[in-house]
A = this chain, B = another copy of it.
Amino acid sequence: MILDQIGLPLSQVAALLAALRRRGETVATAESLTAGLVSAVLTEVPGASDVVRGGLVVYATDLKAELAGVDRDLLAAHGAVHPRVAEMLADGARQRCGADWGIGLTGVAGPDPQDGVPPGTVHLGFAGPGGATVHSVRLDGDRYAVRAAAVRVSLEHFAGLLR
């Protein structure tokens, strides 16, 4: 399972989906550095389709604007790795995918810096019925470790928002 590689117990993701199910709510993603991993992990749980809508993989910077509706001026002024971009990705995922919740991830997996931002810098956006928030973290390790940790932290933080 992909969950094993990410270091997330299946029971933890299943509990997150169960929390959404109890609330009658759905989720969608807009992922840059993780490029679909959050979505892949959520749907590894059988029966995920009643609460997981889908998502946007916005690897190229222009797709963050094109697919998820992130402000082009913001991207031009600050680059793709910025807390406000994560927030707008989350909101874009929610709106474009018709979900109650959106999770947006942007950051630098490495090995090289991007837009002058060092590897390990990750911004996690969450948009829900009550508005949007951002959780910014600095993650250790190589490209694979940073991506895996970004998935873990985003889902752990999201589970906290549902409690």
Binding site for B on A (CB under 8 A): 1-2, 4-5, 29, 31, 34-40, 42-44, 46, 48-49, 52-60, 62-63, 66-67, 96-98, 110-111, 143-144, 147
Would you list 5 pairs from A and B whose C-beta atoms are within 8 A, ordered by A residue?
Answer: A2-B5, A36-B38, A48-B59, A53-B63, A54-B58
- Whether A67 contacts B43 by the Cβ 8 Å rule is no
- Whether A57 contacts B39 by the Cβ 8 Å rule is yes
Interfacial chain B residues near A66, Cβ < 8 Å: 96, 98
- Whether A59 contacts B36 by the Cβ 8 Å rule is no
- Whether B67 contacts A63 by the Cβ 8 Å rule is no
When chains A and B are docked, how far (Å) is the Cα of A59 from the Cα of B55? 8
- Whether B29 contacts A43 by the Cβ 8 Å rule is no
- Whether A55 contacts B43 by the Cβ 8 Å rule is no
